[in-house]
Amino acid sequence: MSIDIKPEHKPEGIEGAGFFATSLEKVVGLARANSLWPLPFATSCCGIEFMATMASHYDLARFGSERLSFSPRQADLLMVMGTISKKMGPILRQVYEQMAEPKWVLSMGACASSGGIFDTYSVLQGIDRIIPVDVYIPGCPPRPEQVLDGILKIQELSKSESLRRRDTPEYKAQLALYGIE
């Protein structure tokens, strides 16, 4: 039986016998994308689907993200899963602020993205009201396949991101919209 293993797509560069030269940015992007450490901010139902994604059937480890970082300081990706109430909002924001750059945010499920069916007095109507979000996953709750797709989208983003993006005035202006310095 032959197993068809596809190596990671090589970035553009100059290749010769025994060497391969490319820009640092691309190498860093490649490394970042394939070892994202997610911080699971799981509050409700979506957290259970995330558990299914982590477990053996769907196996998030195939995408290099099985190392959950429960400390925000070492995490690259904030995965917000489930309803965020107004009482929880400040905590979410604090966790986001504690994460080191570069950081990405994945909003999983209808509740985190928009408040979902809970348009009520106690629920925050979408986490993008307090922190910037990179990828939204629709669904209530999304299937594990969708979660994997969302993580792949984050990988694409991180792969092609310029090393200087986080220092640009545009990025800072974007954060300032949320009142984050």
Partner 1 sequence: MSDLLTTVADKLKEKFGPAFISAEMDYDFPVFTLEKSVLYETLSFLKSEPELNFNFLTTIAGIHYPDMKEKEFCITYHLHNLFLNHRIRLKFYMPESDMKVPSITHIWPTANWMERQEYDFFGFNFTGHPDLRRILNMDEMNYFPLRKQYPLEDGSRDDKNDKQFGR
Partner 2 sequence: MDNKKEFNQAEAEKVYNILNLGPTHPATHGIFQNILKMDGEIIVEAEPTIGYIHRAFEKLAEHRPYNQITPITDRLNYCSSPINNLGWHMTVEKLIGCEVPKRAQYLRVIIMELARIADHIICTTIIGQDTGATTGFLYFFQMREKIYEIYEEICGARLTTNIGRIGGMERDFSPVAIAKLDKFMQEFPEYLKEFQKLIERNRIFMDRTIDCGPISGERALAYGFTGPNLRAAGVDYDVRVANPYSSYEDFDFKIPIGQNGDTYDRFMVRIQEMWESVGIIRQALDKMPTGPFHADVPDFYLPPKEEVYSKMEALIYHFKIVMGETAIPKGEVYHSVEGGNGELGFYLISDGGRTPYRLHFRRPCFIYYQAYPEMITNGLLSDAILTMSSLNVIAGELDA
Query: From CA 172, how far away is CA 151, in angstroms rounded?
Result: 24
Strand order through the sheet with 77-81: 38-42, 77-81, 104-108, 135-137
**Residue 125: which of partner 2, partner 1, none does it interact with, CB under 5 to 8 A by kind?**
partner 1
Query: Smallest distance, Å, CB 54 to partner 2?
Result: 9
Residues that bind partner 2 (CB under 8 A): 41-45, 47-49, 51-52, 55-57, 68, 70, 82-85, 87-88, 91, 95, 117-118, 120-123, 140-141, 143
| Pairing of the two strands 38-42 and 19-21 | unpaired
**Residue 140: which of partner 2, partner 1, none does it interact with, CB under 5 to 8 A by kind?**
partner 2
Query: Smallest distance, Å, CB 78 to partner 2?
Result: 11
- Which residue's CB is nearer to partner 2, number 42 or number 157? 42
Q: How many CB atoms lie within 10 A of CB 172?
A: 12
Query: Smallest distance, Å, CB 136 to partner 2?
Result: 18
Q: CB–CB of 49/141 below 8 Å?
A: yes
Residues that bind partner 1 (CB under 8 A): 86-87, 115, 119-123, 125, 129
- Which residue's CB is nearer to partner 1, number 19 or number 121? 121
Cis peptide before 40 (omega within 30 of 0): no
Q: CB–CB of 27/46 below 8 Å?
A: no
